[in-house]
């Protein structure tokens, strides 16, 4: 798109004269960053010029709102597991992107934000410069664990390297680099290639491995709980689960760690039932939030935690054993220590339990009909992007998920409206597989303006909008718990098909699961642009009895 096609990659030779912006872009490229999701503005003009000059070595994808830029980066990070970058102007640009940054923090997603600043000498003086915001660095420091301001060209490469390393060290998560409007184009002799900092070594606590292995070997009813931190340790989780015949509970961010077709793979509410019976729970990359806060623990239950964040295991209560570091290598050590272990198959028992629970969940029949249509058409490695909507809540419980990183769910922020733009980023970063975004009529309009981005950058994302004419979740609560005093929950919607078509997208309406299947078939064949499918729906049965469930064991 008008970019220089033959500019050279930054050379590995000695220092050359370059601007802060050029050094930053060179460092991003050296760290394997191939895309920057952006919304430009005067504070960052030199950065954009450096991106232009970098030619094909880095793509620039501009969105229609800063929240879109940040969500696209988040979606790309979640779909690939690799660091992703977005850039926006300071003040309102930063704040517009902040909900996505907050979500990236909650999901431990490696999203690097490059945020502009007013001129270096004016920062903190309250003079009223364009986009000035009081204590921007302080606001940022509340949102992410690693942040810094680039104050000179010679600092740029090293700070990018530090930010990228910080995003992958300990608890992973987002990072922010600020740079002042007058620093971006300051030039100096700077190292041409940023040093990629090695990850610090992660020694594994062998005593803790022995202790954990002993407890797991002796456990009569072990349960594994997998969270977002287990997504890259799926092979090891599956192996350990097989060895111990231990069910694996994955909900929201833990879906897809163990293939749903394995009878040991469970979601809620079966996970709660198993939690109630367990004598040892192994939490892998999860806060164990539901277990600790809803279902309860007692003296018969020993908890073993594997977590990248050394502070995490003791947040609720001290576990029996804590193993700190990457889940994969730690699980591998546990598997080695348990190699001689053999247990009778739990298949028959688990199949019986799954069938029994499924009969209860059949109460969600309208949602299941649509989920079945989706699963039938979305390929095994296709990516499903969840939303805070009835089909999403049901998907977390019921959609079969076959592979890690194919079910993207917003974690504990559960922020309405994240879905469409996040899915766009996932689809942009993974053009090789279809990505399906679902949304309610409420959530979709939060980022539906990014349909223009999908068209502009030819991102072949499919979205299904389930339209009940309401913030349905809120309305149902008002009906059931507040004497039907309905307030602020009815919606006036556009004609979604004509709306999407007006952007140039393909769009159609599907009125049944059968029609949805046929529409999805057509949509997934299209690889040159976006599709919207509107599904008009009635109010749906509540999923909450399967999500917020009472205590199953003792007082904490
Ligand atoms: C950022 C944010 N704002 C508000 C909410 C509260 N909230 C949860 S569900 C919901 C309504 C969702 O409506 P819609 O997207 O149409 O889905 P439906 O429940 O109708 O299927 C709202 C407002 C939220 N979770 N996140
Ligand atoms: Mg709705």
Span 143-173, pLDDT tens digits: 999 999 999 999 999 999 999 999 999 999 9
Instruction: List the structure tokens of 320.
Output: 């029996």
Q: Is the CB of 467 under 6 A from ligand 1?
A: no
Helix then strand then coil, % of the chain, to nearest 5: 45, 15, 40
Of the candidates 228, 224, 229, the one whose C-alpha atom is nearest the C-alpha of residue 409 is 228
Give pLDDT, residue 555: 61
Instruction: List the structure tokens of 313.
Output: 């295991």
The Cα-based distances of 478 to 392, 487, 549 in angstroms read 20, 8, 20
Q: CB–CB of 177/31 below 8 Å?
A: no
**pTM of full prediction above 0.85:** yes
CA of 474 to the centre of ligand 1 (A): 7
Of the candidates 467, 463, 374, the one whose C-alpha atom is nearest the C-alpha of residue 420 is 463
Q: Which residues pair with 250 in a beta bridge?
A: 226
Of the candidates 530, 391, 533, 516, the one whose C-alpha atom is nearest the C-alpha of residue 449 is 530
As a whole number of angstroms, the distance between CA 261 and CA 271 comes to 16
Report the nearest-CA residue for atom 4 of ligand 1. 416
As a whole number of angstroms, the distance between CA 155 and CA 160 comes to 9
Q: Is the CB of 392 under 6 A from ligand 1?
A: no
Give pLDDT, residue 132: 98
Give pLDDT, residue 556: 47
Strands (E), 95-145: 111-117
Give pLDDT, residue 186: 97
* Ranges of residues in the chain whose predicted pLDDT is under 70: 1-14, 192, 194, 555-556
Give pLDDT, residue 15: 80
Of the candidates 271, 290, 208, 279, the one whose C-alpha atom is nearest the C-alpha of residue 244 is 279
Helix (H, G, I), strand (E, B) or coil at 465: strand
Q: CB–CB of 61/38 below 8 Å?
A: yes
Q: What is the DSSP letter of 330?
A: H
Give pLDDT, residue 196: 81
Give pLDDT, residue 4: 41
CA of 329 to the centre of ligand 2 (A): 43
Q: Is the CB of 443 under 6 A from ligand 1?
A: yes
Q: Is the CB of 415 under 6 A from ligand 1?
A: yes
CA of 488 to the centre of ligand 1 (A): 12
Helix (H, G, I), strand (E, B) or coil at 65: coil
Give pLDDT, residue 198: 85
Give pLDDT, residue 192: 66
Give pLDDT, residue 7: 45
CA of 388 to the centre of ligand 1 (A): 6
Q: Is the CB of 46 under 6 A from ligand 1?
A: no
The number of the ligand nearest the C-alpha atom of 388 reads: 1
């Amino acid at each position: 798109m008008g970019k220089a096609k033959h500019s050279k990659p930054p050379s590995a030779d000695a220092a050359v004269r370059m601007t802060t912006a050029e050094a930053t872009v060179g460092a991003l490229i050296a760290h394997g960053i191939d895309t920057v999701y952006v919304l430009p503005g005067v504070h960052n003009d030199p950065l954009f010029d450096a991106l232009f000059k970098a030619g094909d070595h880095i793509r620039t994808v501009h969105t229609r709102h800063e929240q879109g830029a940040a969500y696209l980066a988040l979606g790309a990070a979640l779909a690939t597991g690799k660091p992703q970058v977005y850039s926006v102007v300071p003040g309102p640009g930063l704040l517009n992107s902040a909900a996505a940054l907050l979500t990236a923090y909650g999901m431990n997603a490696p999203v690097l934000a490059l945020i502009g600043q007013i001129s270096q000498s004016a920062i903190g003086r309250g003079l009223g410069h364009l986009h000035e915001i009081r204590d921007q660095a302080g606001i940022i420091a509340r949102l992410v664990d690693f942040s810094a301001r680039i104050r000179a060209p010679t600092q740029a490469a090293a700070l990018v390297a530090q930010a990228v390393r910080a995003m992958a060290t300990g608890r992973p998560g987002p990072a922010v680099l600020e740079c002042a409007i007058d620093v971006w184009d300051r030039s100096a002799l700077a190292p041409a290639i940023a040093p990629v900092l090695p990850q610090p070594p992660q020694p594994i606590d062998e005593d803790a491995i022995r202790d954990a292995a002993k407890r797991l070997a002796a456990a009569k009813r072990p349960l594994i709980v997998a969270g977002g931190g287990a997504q890259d340790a799926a092979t090891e989780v599956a192996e350990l689960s097989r060895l111990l015949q231990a069910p694996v509970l994955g909900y929201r961010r833990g879906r897809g760690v163990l293939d749903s077709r394995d009878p040991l793979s469970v979601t809620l509410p079966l996970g709660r039932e198993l939690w109630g019976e367990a004598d040892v729970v192994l939490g892998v990359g999860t806060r164990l939030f539901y277990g600790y806060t809803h279902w309860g623990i007692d003296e018969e239950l020993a908890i073993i935690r594997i977590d990248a964040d050394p502070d995490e295991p003791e947040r609720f209560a001290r576990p029996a054993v804590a193993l700190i570091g990457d889940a994969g290598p730690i699980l591998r050590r546990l598997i080695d220590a348990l190699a001689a272990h053999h247990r009778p198959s739990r298949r028959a028992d688990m199949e019986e339990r799954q069938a029994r629970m499924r009969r209860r969940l059949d109460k969600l029949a309208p949602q299941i009909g649509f989920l079945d249509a989706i699963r039938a058409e979305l390929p095994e490695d296709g990516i499903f992007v969840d939303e805070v909507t009835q089909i999403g809540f049901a998907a977390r419980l019921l959609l079969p998920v076959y592979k890690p990183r194919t079910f993207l769910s917003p974690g504990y922020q559960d922020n309405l409206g994240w879905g469409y733009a996040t899915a766009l980023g996932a689809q942009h970063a993974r053009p090789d597989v279809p990505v399906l975004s679902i949304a309610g009529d409420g959530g979709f309009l939060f980022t539906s303006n990014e349909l223009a981005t999908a068209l502009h950058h030819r991102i072949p994302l499919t979205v299904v909008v389930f339209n009940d004419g309401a913030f349905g979740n809120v309305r149902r609560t008002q009906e059931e718990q507040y004497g039907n005093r309905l307030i602020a929950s009815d919606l006036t919607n556009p004609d979604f098909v004509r709306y999407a078509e007006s952007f140039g997208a393909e769009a159609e309406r599907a009125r049944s699961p059968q029609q949805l299947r046929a529409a999805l078939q057509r949509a997934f064949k299209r690889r040159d642009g976006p599709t919207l499918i509107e599904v008009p729906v009635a109010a749906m049965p509540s999923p909450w009895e399967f999500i917020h469930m009472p205590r199953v064991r003792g007082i904490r």
